[in-house]
Structures are given as structure tokens and as C-alpha cells.
Amino acid sequence: MTVTTRPDAERTPRPTGMAVGTGPSGCRSAGGWLVLPTLVLLGLVIGYPIVRALWLSLHTEAATGDRTDVFVGLANYLRALVGRDHGGFWNSVGVTVLFAVTTVALEVVIGTLLALLMQRVRRGRSLVLGSVLVPWAIPTAVTAVLWKWMLQPDGIVNAVLGKKILWTGSEWPARVAIIVADTWKTAPFIALLVLAGLQLVPPSVHEAARVDGASAAQRFWRITLPMIWPSLMVAVLFRTLDALRMYDLPAILTEGANGTTTLSLFTYQAALDQARFGYGSALSTITFLFVFAVAIAFVRILSRRIVAGAGAGKVA
């Protein structure tokens, strides 16, 4: 991935997008003007909703149903963080983190194994590739409905297990159901990115290691893993950010019952079911900041490791 390339000090200076009319030549100025519509459009579709959500989060709607919003300062934020909804809010944060950690961990292990399988298999490779990728191609909402059917009390999952578990009827079975469904759906995504990383490992390195007497396990831990580390980490980052915003699976499988209300579902209930747009905007802003902070932390910590990992790969 491009993350591994160090930024070149002698790189040409970045074109200044907003430098309308300030450039030394008329050509530069024309470029600025030409970029402007795009910037305006981006501002409209990205900037406006964010600014509007921030503005809304500081207001509450008038009971009359007119859009005359009342300024309430940080009351919406306080209500969630320490106020009367703090129980439900922090509970949903805990549930979200639980789902993110467990699903991403499972998906990394299973996804890597799938990628190794896809790389190794000689005959019927396209069949394996196709069948591994099918879950990823199915929309999440459809996945949720499929699993809901399979997890019925008299459904196929109980028939195969030979047990009668009420999957959506109590806390841990419901959580396990969501974790399993999410892992089933998105492990292929990790597998795909890891497979791309695997293609970059030169076979000669493996051969050299084999000649030196390295065991299969040693070759995986010392050669393969360090070399796929960058692509694996990008996959983990994407998945973590996705998992922290998980909505569809719990919304359809359990409707948030039995301790499966994620932050997004909690926000949805407040903002749309109960039509509290100000409070809902505050919740989405909190979600946004939370996900953003995790992303920044991830990039900070991992970019260092990625460079180190790539270095290790080269050394081996």
C-alpha cells in the first residue's frame, strides 16, 4: 500500500486549490477557478451536513412542530453523557465496542486463513474464490434476514447443532448471533485485502527460508505475516470503523433487544423513531467524534508499526 512509501522531501509542492487569482500566472488562476465548482459541490454535500448536524445538536425542536429551533447549548450532549439517558448511552457504547473488538478479531483470523487457502489452492481456484466472496456480496440487510431465518427456534442452526437455543431470546445468544453473522459476512473482505497482500510476497523469499530450514510456522510468522502486515492493518482499520457504526444487523436481527443496542441503533431510536433531531444530531456527533478518534489513534499507532513491519519484511 501507499502507506509504506515515505513522503519524498523533494516532492513537487502541492497545488493550492483555493489560490484563486493569487497565482503568478493566469494559467494557475484558471486552474483555481476550474476547481471551484468541485469544491462548492463538496462543500455542499460534505461540509453542509456536518455543520448543520453540529448546529442542530446545540438546539432542540419546538414542541409546536414548527422548525423554530431553541438553542440549548450542550444540554443534548450532557443528557447522553451524564444526564438521564447516560445509562442507555454508555451501555450502547459498551455493546458497540464489544462487537467491534470481537468481530474484528475473529474476522482477522478467519480472513487470513481464507486468504491463505485461496492462495494455496491449485484446482478450482475461481470456485473457492467465488464461494468465499459470496457473503461479502450479499447486502447486510439480506444477511440479517437470512440469519434471522436460520436462527429461528426451529431453524436450521438449531437442527444442525441438535440443540434448542433461543438465539434472539436472551442476552448472550443474541450477541453471539450478531457476532457470527457479522463475521460470516465480512471475513471475506479481510481475506480479499490479505490476498492482495499475499500476492506481493516474492516466492523467492519463501524458497530461501525453506532452504535455510525454516518450518512452515516460522515462515508464516517471520515472512508472510510481516509482509502482509500493511494490507492487514488497512483491512483492520476499515473493519473497525465499520464495526463501530454497526446498525443493520442488530436492527433487523434483534431490534436492539437483549443487550444488542449499538450506538448507531441508539442514535436512530432517538433521532428518527422519536423525532428528536437535535438530540439525535448530538448523538451522531458523539459517534462521529468517537469513530474519528479511534481512526486517528489507529493510524498513529499502526503507521509506525507498518513501517517497522515493512522493514522487518525486507530484513527477512
Cell of 75: 444540554
Closest CA to 133 of 118, 145, 121, 149: 118
- State the Cα angle at 240 between 192 and 199, rounded to 5°: 20
- 46 in contact with another protein (CB under 8 A): no
How many residues can be counted in the chain? 316
Return the half-sphere exposure (C-beta side, CA atoms, 13 A cut-off) of residue 218: 12
Q: Which of 15, 33, 49, 202 binds another protein (CB under 8 A)?
A: 33
DSSP annotation of 39 reads H
Residues 6+ apart with CB under 8 A from 155: 149
Residue placing its CB nearer to another protein in the complex, 119 or 152: 152
**Which three-class secondary structure state does DSSP give residue 60?**
strand
Residues 6+ apart with CB under 8 A from 298: 236, 237, 240
Q: Which of 15, 46, 52, 84 binds another protein (CB under 8 A)?
A: 84
Residue placing its CB nearer to another protein in the complex, 7 or 37: 37
- 172 in contact with another protein (CB under 8 A): no
CB 144 within 8 A of CB 227: no
Nearest-approach distance from CB 304 to another protein, in angstroms: 41
- Chain positions 255 to 274 lying near another protein, rule: CB under 8 A, are 255-258, 269, 272-274
- 156 in contact with another protein (CB under 8 A): no
- Chain positions 116 to 155 lying near another protein, rule: CB under 8 A, are 152-154
- 29 in contact with another protein (CB under 8 A): yes
- 208 in contact with another protein (CB under 8 A): no
| # chain residues binding another protein, by CB under 8 A | 40
- 66 in contact with another protein (CB under 8 A): yes
> Which positions touch another protein (CB under 8 A)?
21, 26, 29-30, 33-34, 36-37, 40-41, 44, 60-61, 63-67, 84, 152-154, 164, 166-170, 254-258, 269, 272-276, 279
